[in-house]
Amino acid sequence: MTRTGRSASSVALVLAVSLCAAALAPGALAASPSAWTERPLGVPPAQTFVGPVACASTEVCLAAASGVLAWSLDRTADGGKLWTGTRFAFPGDAGAEATGLSCPTATVCVAATNGPGPAPFGAKVFWSSNAGASWTSPGSPRVPRPGFLEGMACPSATTCLTLEGGDSPAIYRTGDRGTSWQQSTLEGGGWSGAALWRVSCVRQSTCVAVGSLASGASLVARTTDGGRGWKLRTVPNAGSLSDVSCDPGGTCVALATGGTSVLVSGDGGASWSSVAIGSSMAAGGVQCVSGGSCLVAGAVSGSAPAAASTTDGGATWTVTPAASVSGPLGPLACSGSSLCVAARGPESTSEPPAPATFGFALTTDLGARWSAAPVPTGADVVSALTCPTPGECFASAGLDGARFIGEVLESTSSGARWRVSLAIPGLSDLSDVSCVSASTCLAVGPGPNAGGTGPATIAWTTDGGSHWSTERPAGAIGTLRSVSCGSSSCAVVAGTSSGPVLLSVVPGQAATVAYHAPGSVESLNGLSCSGPQLCLAVGARSGEGAVVVRSESGGTQWTLLPRQSSLPFMSAVTCVSSTACYGTDGGASPVVVTANAGSAWTSEKVVGSAQGAALLTPHIACSGPDTCVLVGYGSSPFDPDAAAAVTTDGTTWRLRPVGLQDVGMLLGVAISGSTVIAGGFDGTVVTGSLSALG
């Protein structure tokens, strides 16, 4: 196979930029049909394809634009809005074409290059310590002619792998920032006549390379010793594999350009299966972000641009058109779960395509976008949030240092920045907060989840958090778990030595016990009031399933409803009208809904996954009758993986990992305008776009 033979069959491409999620986040990756806008190439016409691409950060990305004796390197430093192109980016190697790009850090980028023309003038590797602004070549593999380099994967700032893409395959490795290169050992038989095209790493020890065998069948090779030795894996035949991407959790996806199926691995490339991504979806590039969330860029119905996303490690895929750009999507790169870059353009022909077909396309909602905003005092837990008006939010928190401090935090920027509005020494935490209006709010604590240390305390403000007053409810109240306010008063779930009780509170007045749960009620966990009358409290009975207690008087009188034996327990509830409420049962189908104020509940459909069968300890918030967000974590409490499920139609929920490092468990959630705000352990508040999450 020759270098020119591969280029001639390549898709003519330019770049598309996307702010992803994953969840997505990483979360999770899906695009709306009209979410794309276009930007011009740094060096316009004469390109026959663009790719590969790599992102050093959410601001800086690189792309190789290639044509007949007209290779260039395009670079953006503002998240894809403006691109500049350099025809002779690599010093001493005029017209070199970058055939592999990798940026293992925000500053270090590495390029595999070949000289122009059908017969390479030399295969070299270049390094950059300023994210592609300038390049040097400390050393390169000794590639025999007419061999050439294809692909680049750098699992660290010092270790990289690149491939020889001729009919005599080879893999090269450096562990000293490119000063020296060693040829890897290709173990076993079957390598003769094979071609290698792309390589991706799960971690520093485990990487996967793809291409084709001499017969044309799919080739997948794997290393578990950092690239020193490689073995061929037995895989389903999808034809010649042109791209592969792996995430740190072990999800890998390999594809053949134009194919309607992908090869998927969930164990870091050890075993593989074939999965269809859509009968008319032709794949062009792939990137896996984190938590089993991956994005395949390509086209449907021939050349209509589209993307296919998965949040469950490739088991299921959702195809979404990119209707506002032209030409198929191709090579793809992501910076974490927040920036993805795809190539876009027309099919290659014998005649140069029209210059107008080249450019960059930007989208800001390819997937779940979350960003972390640590709270100012370094709180250990942010347990609940509420946003009485768009932009204005309060969070209940706790600080466990030399002494306990229960806190209320306030944000006037939809969660981007926070200040301490109230600090109460001696409390392990303030467990919940809710507002009657934009100016009047109530916070309670300590909660049982943070140890319940300190006297039961109710705090309220009537001036939007500028000043707070406190009281200690009378009686043997131990902990205050949750609070919810209607249009004039609030209800509070409290714990006593004889079982849970419900308090009725008017801010500024003494709390009264409105309901004492019978002995069959083991716990009351969640609470929600809607309007002047309806309140629901949910929890668990002793071995008898979920419990629901209802008030139709704004929390002053309560009735225990018939037992919900079909639900194991309920941990949270939010009511969106006088009859409709969403709840969480913590089971395999974590969302339940009632249309008759809690008398009967049905399960909602949840699609996707988050490293576990269900969301554990979920919490829920709604901005309307059909738009809600559920947060929690999707694996075990010993290795939590923060996740969120979103509905925009009140019926189907899409579950996605949050995809932020060190954000393991989310305990509270609120919606402020178009922003979702969640808080959890380690004192972290995360925010995401509601439109992107949906």
Summarised one tens digit per residue, pLDDT across range 236-277 is 999 999 999 998 889 999 998 767 889 999 999 999 999 998
Q: Indicate the pLDDT class of residue 116, thresholds 50, 70 and 90.
A: low
Q: Which of 524, 485, 478 is nearest to 394 (CA)?
A: 485
User: Does pLDDT of 397 surpass 80?
Assistant: yes
User: Does pLDDT of 440 surpass 60?
Assistant: yes
Give every strand in the sheet of 109-114, ordered side by side: 97-102, 109-114, 123-128
Report which secondary-structure segment, H or E, holds 555: none
Are the CB atoms for 6 and 165 separated by under 8 Å? yes
pLDDT single digits (tens) 151-168: 999 999 999 999 987 667
Report which secondary-structure segment, H or E, holds 692: helix 690-693
CA distances from residue 609 to 181, 482, 660 in whole angstroms, order as listed: 41, 28, 16
User: Does pLDDT of 365 surpass 60?
Assistant: no
Read off the amino acid at residue 39: R
Q: Which of 312-316, 627-631, 642-646 has the lowest mean pLDDT?
A: 642-646
pLDDT value of position 569:
80
Fold classified for 3-348: Methylamine Dehydrogenase; Chain H (2.130.10)
- Length of the chain counted residue by residue: 694
**Across the chain, what does the average pLDDT equal?**
78
User: Does pLDDT of 671 surpass 90?
Assistant: no
Cα–Cα distance measured from residue 659 to residue 661, given in angstroms and rounded to the nearest whole number: 7
pLDDT single digits (tens) 495-545: 988 889 999 999 888 999 999 999 888 889 889 998 888 999 998 887 678
Cα 549 to its chain centre, rounded Å, is 36
pLDDT single digits (tens) 192-235: 989 999 999 999 899 999 999 999 999 999 999 999 999 999 99
pLDDT single digits (tens) 31-60: 333 344 445 555 544 444 667 888 888 778
Token readout for 192 is: 């003769």
- Other C-beta atoms within 10 Å of 496: how many? 16
pLDDT above 90: percentage of residues in the chain:
30
Query: Domain residues of the chain, as ranges?
Result: 3-348, 375-693
Cα–Cα distance measured from residue 170 to residue 150, given in angstroms and rounded to the nearest whole number: 10
User: Does pLDDT of 559 surpass 70?
Assistant: yes
Cα–Cα distance measured from residue 373 to residue 8, given in angstroms and rounded to the nearest whole number: 48
Token readout for 89 is: 């980016």
pLDDT single digits (tens) 311-364: 888 988 888 776 656 666 777 777 655 556 666 654 433 233 333 344 444 443
The residue-averaged pLDDT of 281-289 equals: 84
More confident residue, 362 or 373: 373
Q: Return the SS3 of 139.
A: coil
pLDDT single digits (tens) 295-310: 888 788 777 777 888 8
pLDDT single digits (tens) 78-113: 776 677 777 777 876 656 788 899 999 989 999 998
Cα–Cα distance measured from residue 215 to residue 49, given in angstroms and rounded to the nearest whole number: 27
More confident residue, 192 or 30: 192
Q: Return the SS3 of 691.
A: helix
- Other C-beta atoms within 10 Å of 126: how many? 25
User: Does pLDDT of 22 surpass 60?
Assistant: no
Q: Give the residue ranges of DSSP H helices in 343-440.
A: none
Token readout for 405 is: 């401090």
Are the CB atoms for 335 and 61 separated by under 8 Å? yes
Report which secondary-structure segment, H or E, holds 7: helix 3-8
Cα–Cα distance measured from residue 207 to residue 154, given in angstroms and rounded to the nearest whole number: 10
pLDDT value of position 179:
93
pLDDT above 70: percentage of residues in the chain:
74
pLDDT value of position 450:
54
More confident residue, 317 or 657: 317
CA distances from residue 192 to 170, 187, 209, 215, 587 in whole angstroms, order as listed: 11, 12, 16, 10, 52
Q: Tell whether domain 375-693 is in CATH 2.130.10.10.
A: yes
Q: Return the SS3 of 690.
A: helix
More confident residue, 610 or 686: 686
Q: Is the sign of the CA dihedral 569, 574, 576, 579 positive or negative?
A: positive
Cα–Cα distance measured from residue 249 to residue 154, given in angstroms and rounded to the nearest whole number: 17
Quote the strand ranges of 472-615, DSSP E. 477-485, 490-496, 499-505, 512-516, 521-530, 534-541, 546-551, 559-560, 572-575, 581-584, 591-594, 602-603, 605-608
